[in-house]
Amino acid sequence: MRGQVARLLLCLVILASCLPAGAQADESVRVAVLKFGTVNWELDTVQAHGLDRANGIALEMLPLAGKSATSVSLQAGAVDMMVTDWVWVARQRAAGMAVSFLPYSTALGAVMVPSDSPVTSLADLAGRKLGVAGGPLDKSWLLLQALARRQDGLDLATAAEPVFGAPPLLNEQLIDGRLDAVVTFWPYAARLEARGYRRLLGVADILQALGFARDLPLVGYVFDERWAQEHPGRIEGFVEATAAARRLMAGSDAEWQRLRPLMQAEDDAVFRALRDGFRAGIPGPWGKAEQAEAARLFELLRRIGGPPLVGTAEHLPEGTFWQGSSN
């Protein structure tokens, strides 16, 4: 395992050294992205319209194959940013890694079933085969279990038959009838909805039923706090550039037509579902009230997931959410 990590680190360093000369300038902001992740749409909009240069930065993307590669690239210094959730940030801060979080999206997943499924409630999932994207510690799965316990006194982990796997594979298995339902990420839920599948429950609905705000951003840009403090112009330029991109994506259908090749939408229905899902997830205000709500949610996730999820963090560490260059 250590050998694999060492080889990955070496590859990342080589990749970073091969970036164009402009990317080595003082104003560069290097972001590790999954090859087919939705964040590519936002960052491509930044680059296509020169929103990075207009805000004094030079945005560079480093496409990688998996989440572990993006986190290793950040820790190795091969990039300045990656995209993940603030639970991961809290875990790293508790372990001594000074990383911080900026919201990217409030778009969350959903529990999806066939349109003619007899499943109409959480209790109906008992005894059924349930696909879960992201593994046993996926936040959507943990929250779903919490709601099932509170609402129906049901331990879904034992009452249902969870099957963990990659989202595309789970979609295929649901379509083929080998699964009764899936808990999956929002782009894959959108693809299923476009094909006529039914949303049993959205993760936003689960949050609301558990007493939290529906529109909490769980996913965001993560970076080394010291890097941001040393280069306030870069982080501020990045915030302004991405905010401008979101405004454009929120209001311009033509921009989405330009982005369509990146989206890999099979047809018009999937294209519209992905566009509308992204727009619905554009984050709103992110102040003290919203951050306090996130801290309260962290306490619930810590109780459910325990050390395997949050490591040694006993509460949401100070600095998890970026407050500015004076933080």
pLDDT at 12: 45
Give the span between the Cα atoms of 62 and 214, in whole angstroms.
Answer: 32
The length of the chain in residues reads 327
Please state, in angstroms and rounded to a whole number, the distance separating the CA atoms of residues 196 and 25. Answer: 49
- pLDDT at residue 325 in the model: 59
Amino acid 36: pLDDT:
86
Residue/partner pairs of 50-54 with CB below 8 Å, 24 or more apart: 51/241, 51/242, 51/244, 51/245, 52/237, 52/238, 52/241, 54/241, 54/244
What is the C-alpha separation between 281 and 12, in angstroms, rounded?
A: 31
CA-CA distance, 180 to 90, in Å (whole number)?
34
- What are the chain's domains? 2-106+217-310 (3.40.190.10), 110-209 (3.40.190.10)
Under 8 Å between Cβ of 218 and 104 = no
DSSP code at position 100 = E
pTM for this prediction: 0.89
Q: For the residues of 174-213, what is the DSSP string, one character each?
A: HHTTS-SEEEE-HHHHHHHHHTT-EEEEEHHHHHHHTTS-
Of 276, 254, 309, nearest in space to 49 by CA? 254
Per-residue pLDDT of the chain in tens (327 residues, 90 and over written 9): 444 444 444 444 444 444 444 444 469 999 999 988 999 999 999 999 999 999 999 999 999 988 889 999 999 999 999 999 999 999 999 999 999 999 999 999 999 999 999 999 999 999 999 999 989 999 999 999 999 999 999 999 999 999 999 999 999 999 999 999 999 999 999 999 999 999 999 999 999 999 998 899 999 999 999 999 999 999 999 999 999 999 999 999 999 999 999 999 999 999 999 999 999 999 999 999 999 999 999 999 999 999 999 999 999 999 999 998 543
Measure the CA–CA gap between 152 and 20, rounded to whole angstroms. 56
Please state, in angstroms and rounded to a whole number, the distance separating the CA atoms of residues 77 and 101: 17
Look at the block and give the residue holding tokens 């409030």. 106
pLDDT of residue 257: 98
Contacts of 17 (CB under 8 A, 6+ apart): none
The two tokens of residue 268 are 């018009």
Mutual orientation of helices 39-48 and 232-251 as an angle, nearest 10°? 100
